């Protein structure tokens, strides 16, 4: 059985995955920024270890394009650093990573 972490649970893509996940023989863990700060490498690592995650589907993104220029720090944190950490941890732990 797969333990699948899906980030960005409140977004449109993750919501669709959540709806489609019903009936599959996998454990899905849907997280948002309140339940897992993916810009914190240690938090990601702890979550993965605690829940024995073997697949990550990253649906989290800073999508407010117009606002991104005035909020560069948060846009970079979510769209760059968080993905970097997810990729590093996936590689270190041999976890499948799907980035949408």
Structural domain boundaries of the chain? 3-99
- Residues 26-44 pLDDT 10s: 999 999 999 999 999 999 9
Quickly count helices (H) and strands (E) in the chain: 5, 4
pTM: 0.92
CATH superfamily ID and name for 3-99? NAD(P)-binding Rossmann-like Domain (3.40.50.720)
Burial (0-12, 13-18, 19+ Cβ within 10 Å), 53: buried
Each residue's pLDDT tens digit, 71-80: 889 889 999 9
Task: Identify the CA nearest to 92 among candidates 63, 60, 64, 53.
Answer: 53
């Amino acid at each position: 059985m797969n333990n699948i972490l899906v980030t960005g649970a409140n977004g449109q893509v993750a919501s669709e995955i959540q709806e489609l996940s019903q009936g599959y023989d996998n454990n899905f863990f849907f997280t948002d920024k309140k339940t897992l700060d993916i810009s914190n490498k240690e938090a990601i690592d702890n979550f993965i270890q605690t829940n024995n995650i073997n697949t990550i589907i990253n649906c989290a993104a800073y999508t407010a394009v117009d606002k991104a220029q005035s909020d560069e720090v948060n846009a970079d944190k979510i769209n760059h650093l968080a993905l970097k950490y997810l990729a590093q941890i996936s590689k270190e732990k041999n976890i499948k990573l799907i980035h949408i």
